[in-house]
Structure 1
Amino acid sequence: MRLLRFETYRAMPWKNGGGTTQEIAVFPEGSSAGAFLWRISLATVSVSGPFSRFAGVDRSLSCLAGGGIRLTFADGRGAVLRPGADPFAFAGEDEIHADCLDGETVDLNVMTRRPAWRHSLTRVMIKDQCTLAPEGDDGAIFLGGPARLVTGDQRWEARTFDCLLTDGDRTPIHVLPANRLEIFVISFRRA
């Protein structure tokens, strides 16, 4: 397992050129936007506009901070994403327009390339120590605040927006939050 620090995430332009994202992790490591099999990233959405399209990719999005965004799909569907809400899943090839609500929003984005991989993104609120059992072929725990993480003989003092990659290890992870804590549990499975 590896703890990835927020300040080490790689900044890169959005596929559509409308902003920047911070790539947390990608598989295979070093893959481009057109070649990854799975990817975890953060983005700050500060202006309304079209979403980047990723053909053949399943996406899940969760708002972490800010005013939220309204997604409007070309087929008339819509969704409003705000901090504290459950993640929202959609197809990467969908034509989507995003409108910022009350200023900029920071979101967590998880993507997997069909048909090779699938993913799940689950939001969990904890206030006391909890133990998580990693599932899938790979996975991660993304932290919305500080916590001590303990697994086997490894210990980390994690900070806000740090991410623990399991690297396929299924050793239970003990999460000891400093306060009430929002975490996101990510699971990747080969199809």
Structure 2
Amino acid sequence: MTSEAFRILRAAGRAPAPWKNGGGVTREIAAAPGPAGDGFDWRVSLADVTEDGPFSAFPGVDRTLTVVEGAGMDLMVDGEHHIVDEPYWPHDFPGDVATGGRLLAGPVVNLNVMHRRGRVRAEVAVVRGTLRLAAPEGGTVLAVALEDGAAIDGTDTGLGRYDAVSLHGRASCVLRTYGYAALITLSGHGHGHGHGHRPGARTAGDGA
């Protein structure tokens, strides 16, 4: 495997981007830019939500939200209430309809996966145990440690909480988790990069 096909993305290196409504901050884990002027093809991030408020609209984007810390949210999507109070349970919704969140009992941390409808397909699962990771053809797979970290077999590499491993191309590895991990499979265009904004990616102040 090559360094470009297999990457460790450390939580410690992610810069927080504050929302313009002041309701929280986002830390990008990885993203793949779309065609020029068309934003991202997909984006994976962690959001610290500290206040009730609206979510930003993302035309043509589908989203998956997973609460990884806190009591949860009342998620209002296009006028319908969705009580998201079970940790590690992914919830899908369109990113281009009116959406807002009300905290049930204090701040939460959400894992957010966004992908461009019609160009990328995303699958999010929360798993534990021993996993063989391999990217789909033309796509990317990420694993994000949600609890007590993980280790990559055959190496000295360990993952702490919220560290991630990203693979594309022919790269593969065996991951042993010490708790739950989010497994994100992205089929379609773009290999993605680690934390840090690229041209067209969402910048600070764009909200949830």
TM-score, length-scaled by structure 1: 0.84
Pick aligned residue for 2:90 from 87, 91, 115: 87
Tell whether 2:132 aligns with 1:111: no
Paired residues, what number? 180
Pick aligned residue for 1:138 from 128, 136, 140: 140
- Provide the C-alpha distance between the structure 2 equivalents of 1:15 and 1:168, rounded to a whole number of angstroms: 37
- Provide the C-alpha distance between the structure 2 equivalents of 1:79 and 1:131, rounded to a whole number of angstroms: 31
Change (3 A) 1:158 1:83: farther
Farther off after superposition, 77-86 or 87-96: 77-86
- Provide the C-alpha distance between the structure 2 equivalents of 1:169 and 1:16, rounded to a whole number of angstroms: 42
Displaced runs of 4+ in structure 1, greater than 4 A?
Answer: none
Q: Which amino acid is the alignment partner of residue 163 of structure 1?
A: A
* Equivalent position SS for 2:59: coil
Pick aligned residue for 1:97 from 92, 95, 100: 100
Check conservation: 1:139, 1:168, Cα contact below 8 A. Answer: no
- Provide the C-alpha distance between the structure 1 equivalents of 2:133 and 2:165, rounded to a whole number of angstroms: 13
- Greater RCO (CA < 8 Å, at least 6 residues apart): 2
Tell whether 2:49 aligns with 1:48: no
- Provide the C-alpha distance between the structure 1 equivalents of 2:59 and 2:9, rounded to a whole number of angstroms: 28
Check conservation: 1:65, 1:83, Cα contact below 8 A. Answer: no
Change (3 A) 1:15 1:125: farther
Farther off after superposition, 79-88 or 89-98: 79-88
Once the two structures are superposed, the pairs formed by residues 60-79 of structure 1 within 5 Å of their partners are: 60-75=64-79, 77-79=80-82
- Provide the C-alpha distance between the structure 2 equivalents of 1:78 and 1:170, rounded to a whole number of angstroms: 41
Q: Which amino acid is the alignment partner of residue 109 of structure 2?
A: V
Q: Which amino acid is the alignment partner of residue 113 of structure 1?
A: R
Q: Which amino acid is the alignment partner of residue 112 of structure 1?
A: H
Q: Which amino acid is the alignment partner of residue 143 of structure 1?
A: A
Name whichever structure is richer in strand by fraction.
Answer: 1
Check conservation: 1:70, 1:101, Cα contact below 8 A. Answer: yes
Once the two structures are superposed, the pairs formed by residues 19-38 of structure 1 within 5 Å of their partners are: 19-28=24-33, 35-38=39-42
Pick aligned residue for 1:10 from 15, 31, 36: 15
Q: Which amino acid is the alignment partner of residue 144 of structure 2?
A: F
Change (3 A) 1:120 1:35: same
After TM superposition, give the deviation of residue 113 of structure 1 in Å. Answer: 1.1
Check conservation: 1:58, 1:111, Cα contact below 8 A. Answer: yes
* Equivalent position SS for 1:133: strand
Q: Structure 1: which 5+ residue stretches go unaligned?
A: none
Pick aligned residue for 2:43 from 39, 46, 49: 39
Q: Deviations over 1:79-137 (max 9, x none)?
A: 122353420011111211200011000010011112211111111133xxx13232421
Check conservation: 1:147, 1:158, Cα contact below 8 A. Answer: yes
After TM superposition, give the deviation of residue 15 of structure 1 in Å. Answer: 6.5
Q: Percent of aligned pairs with the same residue?
A: 29
- Provide the C-alpha distance between the structure 1 equivalents of 2:67 and 2:82, rounded to a whole number of angstroms: 12
